[in-house]
Amino acid sequence: MKLSKKNLDQRLDHLYDVIIVGGGAGGLAAAMYLQRYRLSCLVIEKGRGRSFWMQDLRNYLGLSPDTPGRTLLQQGQQHVLSLGGDYLAGFVEAVRDEGETFAVKVKVGKQDSIYPVFRSKYVVAASGIIDQLPHLDDMQNVYDYAGYNLHVCMICDGYEIADKQCGLFVASEAAINTAFVLNWFTPYITVFTQGLCEVGEEMRQKLQEHGYPLVETPIAKFLGHNHEMTGVALTDGSTVELETGLVAMGSHYFNEYLKELDLQWKGENLVTDTMCRTSHPRLFAVGDLKEGINQVSIAVADGTLAATAIWREIRRTSAPRRWES
């Protein structure tokens, strides 16, 4: 059932088997499997996550390479609802461990918000990350191209970049090293720091040896039309022509709601075992938020693993069903 401010009080006394934080690729896959294992789950999704901005899912077996992330989200949500799962548009603020259960506090509604608390035996953290983008006064100018030919993921879109004139947008010296991986796909790389970081002599020399120009002047705006970026205008009035771009400015990790729990992290990523269980036995993590490769195929497989591990555990502790005549 789709929950909203109007009907969610019907579920406040219900103990879900699993609450899934994040209804992207990993969360929806987990929910689909869990419902098919006849467990009860609630998916809570804030909206506008990474798979929402994915204009084309180009490398998922069986799907046409121009399938938008939104299609995946819509179909996934419908699928989960058709299996009897619950779905709520809301922002998870905190997860508290109560011993046998988790209490999940949600902000519902951006205005006149209410803060219901739902309870479950298990939690699947499927809240993912979001890529940092170049910060310009006019962000709409960035959004016009981000996720189109201004890419954010080399694994996803290196193939689209092949042999093209590519701008690499970074905010730290370490991220400049992306150029020496990106050159598998194209050698025509211009690095843009916007002056956000110092670049040491060694790195300058390495870039020079490879023939990759370094531009440290801030960007005034991206140029292009129809979601196709064709270059950048710099604040000194000059322009650089490009055919494509890759942003490597780091990510924001949606993990704030987990900070009260004692969990094992690697940087901002959650560490899990092979079934996606974190260091907390009743908390699983799937997709981009956990350590590993950030891909839809991995998130979906993670959801499958986490759901199956949870089902096994609940099934083994449940009384067997007998055919009573």
Q: Provide the binding-site residues for ligand FAD, judged by CB under 6 A.
A: 21-27, 44-54, 57-59, 89-92, 107-110, 113, 126-128, 130-131, 133, 143, 146-147, 152-153, 156, 254, 257, 287-289, 294-297, 299
Quote the least distance from Cβ 309 to ligand FAD, whole Å. 16
SS3 288: helix
Quote the least distance from Cβ 100 to ligand FAD, whole Å. 23
Burial 43-80 (b: 16+ CB within 10 A, else e): bbbbeebbbbbbbbbbeeeeeeeebbbeebbeebbebb
SS3 166: strand
Give the residue ranges of DSSP H helices in 83-194: 139-143, 154-161, 179-182
Quote the least distance from Cβ 132 to ligand FAD, whole Å. 8
Structure-token match 């440290």, residue found: 216
What own/partner pairs with CB < 8 Å and gap ≥ 24 does 314-323 have?
314/17, 314/39, 314/121, 315/37
d(CA 23, CA 31): 9
Residues 6+ positions from 54 with CB-CB distance below 8 Å: 68, 69, 147, 156, 296
d(CA 298, CA 217): 38
Quote the least distance from Cβ 114 to ligand FAD, whole Å. 10
Quote the least distance from Cβ 113 to ligand FAD, whole Å. 6
Quote the least distance from Cβ 201 to ligand FAD, whole Å. 33
- Of the candidates 68, 194, 189, 214, the residue with the CA atom closest to the CA atom of residue 133: 194
Quote the least distance from Cβ 215 to ligand FAD, whole Å. 22
Which token pair is 187?
């050698």
Strand 129-131 and strand 251-253: the pairing is antiparallel
Quote the least distance from Cβ 235 to ligand FAD, whole Å. 22
Measured in degrees and rounded to the nearest 5, phi and psi for residue 268 equal -100, 0
